[in-house]
Amino acid sequence: MGVCPVTDTHERSCMDTVRPPNLGDYLRALRTRSTPQHPDGLTRTEFAANIFWSVSHITQIERNESPNPSVKFLEATSRELGLDPAQRRHLYNLARRTQTERETSTTPWTIEQYRSLITPEMRTVITALNPHLVAYLDERWNVIECNAAYDRAFSGLLHDGNVLRWFFSTPQSKQVMVEWEAETTLTVNWFRALMGRYYNPEWAIETLEELSKFPAFRRLWDKEDVRFGRHQPFMHLRDADTGEEYRVHVQVHTEMRGDYPVQMYLGVRIPGTE
């Protein structure tokens, strides 16, 4: 079980493999999805006729044989398929048409290298923010550093080390995440969007291979959905020891440390929800 190469020009056929985000798979998913205007999706012929483009060109793009279509094609596609801002942004990322946004680094830092960026002052700050939940994560959702409140809230996460793997491999995740399905879906979609920002997805291939063994992950990944950030700020949690439910107001900020982005998670506990 592993990750199908992006250069594969054949249709996806195996249920136990996943591929990094690529333009061909994404365009096909958008074209064939059900919408109010097109409940059964669009065939290539219908799509080509609607945007005044050739079927052969669309076929080449969907097979990743023509991975860098023109901006004119992307604009026509966005209009015809009614893409929302996140879908449009991801489409342009995969087509290599957002040069200023994309990251050129392909070799990921190790967790130890990321942790070398955390200064004593940063540790003092996140410790002082208890009982609010604070953590630093990389874009593969590996936990770099966290305070005691974050560790206690997400039982078993610090031991596992990766948010996505924890969702699918650790039983405690379903105990403490009251809205497990929604939060898991959000994180998978966000991970896909982050992967799509890179010219070469090798930086996250290892993580993707680890996750591909979980059927629930493959189910969500195959939907080709994307999200840049949270759709709403509240996270609903359950205390692992007492079973009491509470909410936190979540913000995730990204900052660059040299060539490498670091995400800061801040979950402010809402008074009266303990």
The tokens 């969500």 sit on which residue?
220
Q: What is the pLDDT of residue 36?
A: 87
The tokens 């074209």 sit on which residue?
31
Q: Where are the domains of the chain?
A: 23-94, 111-269
Instruction: Judge if 23-94 and 111-269 fold alike in CATH terms.
Output: no
Convert the pLDDT of each residue in 161-185 to its tens digit.
Answer: 999 999 999 999 999 999 999 999 9
Strand 260-269: give its sheet, edge to edge. Answer: 143-146, 133-137, 260-269, 245-257, 234-238
- Residue 32 CA to residue 67 CA, distance in Å, equals 19
Q: Which of 165, 183, 30, 2 is nearest to 92 (CA)?
A: 30
Q: What is the pLDDT of residue 248?
A: 97
Convert the pLDDT of each residue in 108-156 to its tens digit.
Answer: 778 898 999 889 999 999 999 999 999 999 988 999 999 999 999 999 9
Looking at the structure, give the CATH architecture of the domain made up of residues 111-269. 2-Layer Sandwich (3.30)
Tokens of 125: 């700050």
Residues 133, 153 contacting (CB under 8 angstroms):
yes
The tokens 């290539």 sit on which residue?
44
Task: Please identify, in words, the CATH class of the domain defined by 23-94.
Answer: mainly alpha
Q: What is the pLDDT of residue 201?
A: 65
**Residue 37's pLDDT band (cuts 50, 70, 90):** confident
Q: Using alpha carbons only, what angle is made at residue 218 by residues 196 and 266, rounded to the nearest 5 degrees?
A: 60
CA atoms within 13 A on the CB side of 119: 4
Would you tell me how many other CB atoms lie within 10 Å of the CB of residue 78? 18
Residues 263, 137 contacting (CB under 8 angstroms):
yes
Q: What is the pLDDT of residue 167?
A: 98
